[in-house]
Structure formats: structure tokens, C-alpha cells
Amino acid sequence: MRRSIGKPTELAYYVCHTRRPVPLAELVRVAGSRWGVEETFQFAKNETGLDHYQVRKYDAWYRHITLSMLAAAFLAVTAHTERTHDAKGAPPEAMRI
């Protein structure tokens, strides 16, 4: 159970099922990872048009989603590479000779 900071009367619940007993800390970790997943999908929707599809067949939908997620992965890797270079003080790729 999770309580909203802004609205103390608003509660959120998670229902978990496992075949074997799992420590509470593991359940909390998995529930907390949901935020990162939602942020990733929101990034893909905003930057690569993940939700801008108008298709009639599964194959077309699958191609669109695959290409959109590939573009999002490319942007994430490129951003990480740039942050790493900036942190190390290296010049950007275009400025190297």
C-alpha cells in the first residue's frame, strides 16, 4: 500500500502473486521500479512518437512500436555517451580531429 504525499486520503495498492515466498524488500523494489518504466514510456511517447500510430494490422503496429523503441534506445545511448564525455572533459565527437 502506498499513500499519496499530496492527498493523504488517496491510497494505492499493489497485488502481488509469486509461486514461492519473496522477501518484502524484493516486493518493494519491484513496486518502486514501476516509476522508471513509466518514465521510459513517457519519454518514448514524447520523443519518438510511440503512441502516434494509426494502423489496421498487427504487423504494421509491431513495426511502428519496434522502430519507435529502437529510436528511443538510440537517443538514450547517445545522451549517456554525451554525458560521459562531458563529465570527463572530452570534446564532443564533431570537434575531434
Q: Lowest-pLDDT range, 1-10, 17-26, 41-50, 66-75?
A: 1-10
Identify the band that residue 91 occupies on the pLDDT scale cut at 50, 70 and 90.
low
Half-sphere exposure of 34 (CA within 13 A, CB side): 9
Q: 3-state class of 46 per DSSP?
A: helix
Q: What is the mean pLDDT of the chain?
A: 84
Identify the band that residue 69 occupies on the pLDDT scale cut at 50, 70 and 90.
very high
Count of structural domains within the chain: 1
Residue 34 has what pLDDT?
Answer: 84
What is the extent of the structural domain holding 44?
Answer: 2-95
Q: Is the pTM of this model over 0.95?
A: no
Whether residue 48 contacts residue 75, with contact meaning beta carbons closer than 8 Å, is answered with yes
Residue 3 has what pLDDT?
Answer: 62
